[in-house]
Chain A
Amino acid sequence: MATKQIAGKIVSVSEEGYLTDPSQWTREVAQAIAVEEGITLTDAHWKVIDFLKKDFAATGTLASMRRINKTGGIPTKDLYELFPDGPLKKAARIAGLPKPTSCV
């Protein structure tokens, strides 16, 4: 388990840079991770992040793109525009949630 400094905070991260302690997540940390991903967060991005966090708190699992669409009301096409090249992986990382595990 590694730690790294981000947005002036020391946070624990996995090998792939996902936060391992959700309590260390702040909106500033999210901003900083987004910059690493080459993304400038807008209201549309925050809508996705807020839904993911709220849904994770309720269900204990990361929402799928289908769930973000059907339950969160955010079309998958938009998700790809907001978080290009692997939207769920990037959105989860910025939201301080675990990396999506595609079912086997």
Chain B
Amino acid sequence: MKKILIIGAGTAGTMMAVHLSRKLNRKEWIITILDKDETHYYQPGYLFIPFGIYTKKDVIRKGAKYIPAGIEYLLAEAGEIATDQNRVKLTDGREIAYDILIIATGTDIHPEETPGMAENGWRENIFDFYTADGACALGEKMSGFKGGKVAIHVAEMPIKCPVAPLEIAFMADWYFTKKGIRKDIQIDFVTPLSGAFSKPATAKVMGHLMDERGINLVADFGTERVERGKLISYDNRTVEYDLLITTPTNMGDALMARSNMGDDLNFVPTDKHTLQAKAKDNIFALGDATNLPSSKAGSVVHFQTEILTKNIRSYIQGKELKASFDGHSNCFIESGYGKAFLIDFNYDLDPVEGTYPLPFLGPFSLLKETRLNHIGKLAMKFVYWNILLRGIPVPGISSKMGRAGKIISEASGVTSKI
């Protein structure tokens, strides 16, 4: 029997386990998945917790429930990957040999990477919303907040779900308006990027919306340190806050540093098309754990699992890895007031206007703020737990980005030569 080992049972690892359990000959292959945390988190749901729309219950389930029968599920932590021996050493002393390794260890926040952030008010008036606990703590703070300066902050790129800080800003505007205290609150959006978002067409649309909502954009802000109530940039600018909602530095798992196979942020250098790790040909990586120039987001993982399943089958058969990931990403951008945007893009093509997933029919509108997009965003919770995580194909949603029904022009930032 040969062995496939998946490290990480989050969105990426679980979906790979589901796909592989169907596609591999189970008389030849043993599939093992391990994770150090028995809980599976619906991470897109974190956004709704601070505003009292979701509670923690909406976003957590037992991870084992989503692992298909016949797959070995280990609650254990990987201590080191010994690539030369094709073995993973666990922190409890056990060792697991593998023929193929899939790394799906995700990314986590690291407030300690910004001097002063962890020391000068963490979870007092500095909060993250990238963990279930952080989102809950922020919710408590928000409910008692009476007025003052709120800074929505991004420490360093890349980050998981790059639209989430924008969503938090729009939602905060809506939340404080609904409470009747918006006039007593200043909202600053502080980012290391030169605009509201990294993709120009979207940055423009989001920039306009920020103006309309009275959210101040503080761009090109490279955060050097955090003092009590103050963000300070490398070029000596200061943003004062009463409440800091931050996206701390994102890093891959420290396992990569221990195994000497990560980049400066512990992300795994990976071929952006085949998803094969640069370290060795029997190692593959997907999702937030990689250094790919695609979004760190669930939709991306969903598209990557299809590609990676094909390439692993090719690898097993000794064939060329022909399936190629195009960087396809789509995400809803919740904008408050019961509305949302939807954007769809890949490595080469920026988000444009049009309809999704069906050309001209939609039902969702791209790069436009609609109520239906918001309903789509809320429906994602059901779709995630019951359809995506179980590997059930969604009609009309393809891993390759479609172009039909989209308004594609030179101005949209087309750089592809497809």
Offer 18 A-B interface pairs, CB within 8 angstroms, sorted by A: A64-B264, A66-B156, A66-B264, A67-B264, A70-B264, A76-B222, A79-B234, A80-B235, A86-B194, A86-B220, A101-B293, A102-B158, A102-B192, A103-B157, A103-B158, A103-B293, A104-B197, A104-B293
Please report A residues at the B interface, Cβ cutoff 8 Å.
64-67, 70-71, 76-77, 79-80, 84-86, 101-104
A76 lies within 8 A of B224 (CB): yes
Contact partner, A104, options B156, B194, B294, Cβ 8 Å: B294
A102 lies within 8 A of B193 (CB): yes
Cα–Cα, bound, A85→B192 (Å): 11
Please report B residues at the A interface, Cβ cutoff 8 Å.
156-158, 162, 192-194, 197-199, 220, 222, 224, 234-235, 263-265, 293-295, 329, 345
Q: A65-B222, A76-B222, A86-B220 are in contact. Are A104 and B162 (CB under 8 A)?
A: yes
A102 lies within 8 A of B224 (CB): no
Q: How far is the CB of B112 from chain A (nearest CB, A)?
A: 14
**B-side interface mostly:** loop
Cα–Cα, bound, A102→B156 (Å): 10
Cα–Cα, bound, A80→B234 (Å): 6
Contact partner, A85, options B156, B235, B329, Cβ 8 Å: B235
Q: List B contacts of A103 (CB < 8 A).
A: 157-158, 162, 198, 293, 295
Q: How far is the CB of B351 from chain A (nearest CB, A)?
A: 10
Cα–Cα, bound, A76→B223 (Å): 10
B235, B294, B329 pick with most chain A CB within 10 angstroms: B235
A80 lies within 8 A of B293 (CB): no
B193, B234, B263, B345 pick with most chain A CB within 10 angstroms: B234
B113, closest chain A residue (CB): A66
A103, closest chain B residue (CB): B158
Cα–Cα, bound, A70→B257 (Å): 14
Cα–Cα, bound, A76→B236 (Å): 12
A69, closest chain B residue (CB): B264
Q: List A contacts of B234 (CB < 8 A).
A: 76-77, 79-80
Cα–Cα, bound, A102→B219 (Å): 13
B197, closest chain A residue (CB): A104
B235 lies within 8 A of A102 (CB): no
Q: How far is the CB of B416 from chain A (nearest CB, A)?
A: 14
Q: List A contacts of B345 (CB < 8 A).
A: 104
Q: How far is the CB of B45 from chain A (nearest CB, A)?
A: 21
Q: List A contacts of B224 (CB < 8 A).
A: 76-77
Cα–Cα, bound, A84→B235 (Å): 8
Cα–Cα, bound, A80→B237 (Å): 12
Q: How far is the CB of A69 from chain B (nearest CB, A)?
A: 9
A80 lies within 8 A of B193 (CB): no
Q: Which 8 A-B pairs have the closest CB atoms?
A: A103-B158, A80-B234, A102-B198, A67-B264, A102-B157, A104-B198, A80-B235, A104-B295
Q: How far is the CB of A27 from chain B (nearest CB, A)?
A: 27
Q: List A contacts of B293 (CB < 8 A).
A: 101, 103-104
Known: A70-B264, A85-B220, A103-B198. 4 other contacts (CB 8 A): A66-B264, A76-B234, A86-B220, A101-B293
Q: List A contacts of B294 (CB < 8 A).
A: 104
A104 lies within 8 A of B264 (CB): no
Q: List B contacts of A86 (CB < 8 A).
A: 194, 220
B264 lies within 8 A of A71 (CB): yes
Cα–Cα, bound, A60→B199 (Å): 22
Contact partner, A80, options B198, B222, B264, Cβ 8 Å: B222
Q: List B contacts of A84 (CB < 8 A).
A: 235
Cα–Cα, bound, A70→B266 (Å): 13
Cα–Cα, bound, A8→B295 (Å): 42
Cα–Cα, bound, A102→B192 (Å): 9
A84, A102, A103, A104 pick with most chain B CB within 10 angstroms: A104
Q: How far is the CB of A59 from chain B (nearest CB, A)?
A: 8
Cα–Cα, bound, A42→B265 (Å): 30
Q: List A contacts of B264 (CB < 8 A).
A: 64, 66-67, 70-71
A78, closest chain B residue (CB): B234
Q: List A contacts of B156 (CB < 8 A).
A: 66
A104 lies within 8 A of B193 (CB): no
Q: How far is the CB of B244 from chain A (nearest CB, A)?
A: 20
Contact partner, B265, options A66, A77, A80, Cβ 8 Å: A66
Cα–Cα, bound, A21→B294 (Å): 25
Cα–Cα, bound, A77→B233 (Å): 9
B219, closest chain A residue (CB): A86
